[in-house]
Amino acid sequence: MEYKTLSNGVEIPQLGFGVFQIPPEETKDVVKKAIEVGYRHFDTAQAYFNEAEIGEAIKESRIAREELFLTTKVWVSSYGYEETKKAFQDSLDKLQTDYVDLYLLHQCIGDVYSTWRAVEDLYKEGKIKAIGVCNFTQGRFTDLALHAEIPPMVNQIEVNPFYQQEGTEDFHKEFDAVVEAWGPLAEGKDDIFNNPLLSEIGAKYDKSVAQVILRWLIQRDIVVFPKSTKESRMIENADLFDFELSDDDMEKIKELETGVPIVEVDNPEFIKFVISSIA
């Protein structure tokens, strides 16, 4: 395993396991299997509605809490100072823990600043080991970082071969922040697992397309957490640390950029949709 060190000295595993869109009734068994395979970094959220199942899986695994890195997020419906504190406690209860390793604002929409003050206070109380945000554009991230008592240590954003956000890791390094990639495998769109260029690169290293993509992100100093419900894929996705892509292959992957994200987070229609869904 490789690690990134956050601005406060906390070490975060560069490979984790995502649970977005795993149905709650399947989550416990999937997470238990991921733990058996060797994953110790799990990323969930209030809005995924499966925190409780993750808590059950961890409890039944009997893995020591300090061996795990747990991330969860507060959704826009719970933004605001007091609302965030209540949502955080609810997440703790569901996860059956007395702290989380990383707590994130899920969107840059709504009452971000009151929410961030609550997160800062929870961090100072020792209930959170590290704090950050999701889906913040560079402008929104800069604004929050410059107005915060404690700037975000992480920004979880969409990064994949079709939406590469080239240079984003350098931008965030200016704020001593680490980038995490959601949707690292582009959610399988555009037949990415059969992409000719990625398949050709994978053949050179005897690795799959998924392994090439995840390794490409890791070499960009980005934290990744692929999702799979299949044990064979869990094992495959974790087998990333015995090879390194050449500089030439890293450059070739840039050819796949389309500039089209899965979700355009700063699109007015998306923002209206999010706000209307919580009204």
Give the burial class of 232: count Cβ atoms within 10 A of its Cβ; 0-12 exposed, 13-18 middle, 19 or more buried.
Answer: exposed
Distance in angstroms (rounded) separating the CA atoms of residues 204 and 188: 22
Distance in angstroms (rounded) separating the CA atoms of residues 138 and 172: 8
Cβ–Cβ < 8 Å for 136, 144 = yes
Any idea what the CATH number is for the domain that residue 266 is in?
Answer: 3.20.20.100
pLDDT digits (tens, 9 = 90+) for 31-86: 999 999 999 999 999 999 999 999 999 999 999 999 999 999 999 999 999 999 99
In the chain, what percentage of residues exceed pLDDT 70? Answer: 100
Positive or negative, the CA dihedral 46, 82, 135, 14 is negative
Distance in angstroms (rounded) separating the CA atoms of residues 157 and 179: 7
Whose CA is closest to 207, among 236, 174, 180, 183? 236
Average pLDDT for 84-113: 97
Q: Cα–Cα distances in Å, from 117 out to 46, 81, 114, 225?
A: 19, 7, 5, 27
Distance in angstroms (rounded) separating the CA atoms of residues 190 and 56: 36
pLDDT of residue 1: 87
pLDDT digits (tens, 9 = 90+) for 235-277: 999 999 999 999 999 999 999 999 999 999 999 999 999 998 8
Average pLDDT taken over every residue of the chain: 96
Annotated active-site positions, please?
48
DSSP of the chain: --EEE-TTS-EEESB-EE-TT--HHHHHHHHHHHHHHT--EEE--GGGT-HHHHHHHHHHHT--GGG-EEEEEE-GGG-SHHHHHHHHHHHHHHHT-S-BSEEEES-S-SSHHHHHHHHHHHHHTTSBS-EEEES--HHHHHHHHHH-SS--SEEEEE-BTTB--TTHHHHHHTTT-EEEEESTTGGGGGGGGG-HHHHHHHHHHT--HHHHHHHHHHTTT-EE----SSHHHHHHHH--SS----HHHHHHHGGG-----SS-TT-HHHHHHHHHHH-
Pull the structure tokens for residue 157.
Answer: 């954003």
Determine the structural domain holding residue 105 and report its residue range: 3-278
Q: What is the pTM of this model?
A: 0.95
Average pLDDT for 178-195: 96
Distance in angstroms (rounded) separating the CA atoms of residues 135 and 112: 12
Total count of domains within the chain: 1
